[in-house]
Amino acid sequence: MSSPKPTNRGIVQGSGVGPTLYIIKALSSNNLLFKYADDTNLLVPEITDVDIKDEFNNVLKWADDNCMTVNLSKTKEIVFHRPSARYSLPSVITGIEQVVSAKLLGVTFSHNLKFDEHAKNITICNQRSYLLKCLKGQGLPSKELHTVFCALIVSCILYALPAWGGLLTADLIGKIDAYLCKALRWGYNGNVKFLSELLHDADMKLFRSMLHSTHCIHQLLPPLKFIQ
């Protein structure tokens, strides 16, 4: 056992006051600062009255004032832009790596707003496929094997699917569908649902949830139209 150490700061996990203590306000209303637990994401548009460097320094100052530390090694900067646009990228913030893709809450975003890399991460599931192969070799019945396949593979495809599924190229859609067909031949998948069907079901599920006024993105729906 390690020797005890005194601590004079900290937040109880799951406390009601915890989220309030992590509130950070952006300097400009044009910039968006959104959080998930202690992960902070700053979105600064091309045209704004406060640039990203000043906004980032504001986050650093807030952390210092509240006795917190920003992990610069895990902090990344990504610039979203059109591939055909002719302009130079903004200079890199000192101490921050500028990347072409970054993962946000389990979804990989690329600088060109394509989700090719995210789709490839789904279809290249070597460890999970090997686990399924081992379970099949040990004699796991097909019904239980299908349950494990849904838990390990299908769940990854369904995760945030309405956000990225409609932006895939035909080639990537074909690769995901081909992987699902292979899973059927290997005996992992009991019934094949192609990506288009999975996306349709996910979109409808999200839409039905959005209809409730208490849903977090209900305000994104257009006003109701009454047809006489």
Report which secondary-structure segment, H or E, holds 34.
strand 32-36
Is the pLDDT reported for residue 208 higher than 90?
Answer: yes
- 118 close to 107: Cβ distance less than 8 angstroms: yes
Query: How does the average pLDDT of the chain come out, rounded?
Result: 86
pLDDT band at 82 (very low <50, low <70, confident <90, very high): confident
**Furthest C-alpha separation in the chain:** 76
Range of the domain at 47: 18-99
Helix ranges (DSSP H) in 66-104: none
27-74 pLDDT, tens digit each = 999 999 888 877 889 999 988 899 889 999 999 999 899 888 888 888
User: What confidence tier does 209 reach under pLDDT thresholds 50, 70, 90?
Assistant: very high
**Residue 44, both tokens:** 């600064």
49 found inside a domain:
yes
- Considering the domain architecture, whether residues 87 and 25 belong to the same structural domain is answered as yes
Q: By CB neighbour count within 10 A (0-12 exposed, 13-18 middle, 19+ buried), where does 95 fall?
A: exposed
Rounded mean pLDDT, 100-106: 88
Output the six-digit token pair for 184. Answer: 């059927």
**For the residues 122-138, what does the mean pLDDT come to?**
81
| Parallel/antiparallel/unpaired status of strands 107-110 and 101-104 | antiparallel
Number of domains observed in the structure of the chain? 2
119 three-class SS: helix
Examine the fold and report which residue of 68, 99, 130 is the final residue of a domain before the chain moves on. Answer: 99
Which residue, 65, 99, 133, sits at the end of a domain? 99
Is 45 part of any domain? yes
Q: How confident is the model at residue 87 (pLDDT cuts 50, 70, 90)?
A: low
E strands, 119-171, are none
CA angle 92, 93, 99 (to 5 degrees): 50
For residues 172 and 140, what is the distance between their CA atoms, to the nearest angstrom? 31
Compute the Cα dihedral for 84, 85, 90, 91 and give only its sign. positive
Torsion of CA 199, 205, 209, 211, to 10 degrees: 80
Report pTM: 0.74
Mean pLDDT, residues 20-26 taken together: 83
Report the pLDDT value the prediction gives residue 122, as an integer from 0 to 100: 77
**Per-residue pLDDT band at 189 (split at 50, 70, 90):** confident
Q: Which two tokens stand for residue 45?
A: 């548009």
Residue 85, pLDDT score = 62
CA gap 174, 181 in Å, rounded: 10
Residue 113 has pLDDT above 70, yes or no: yes
72 and 157, same structural domain? no
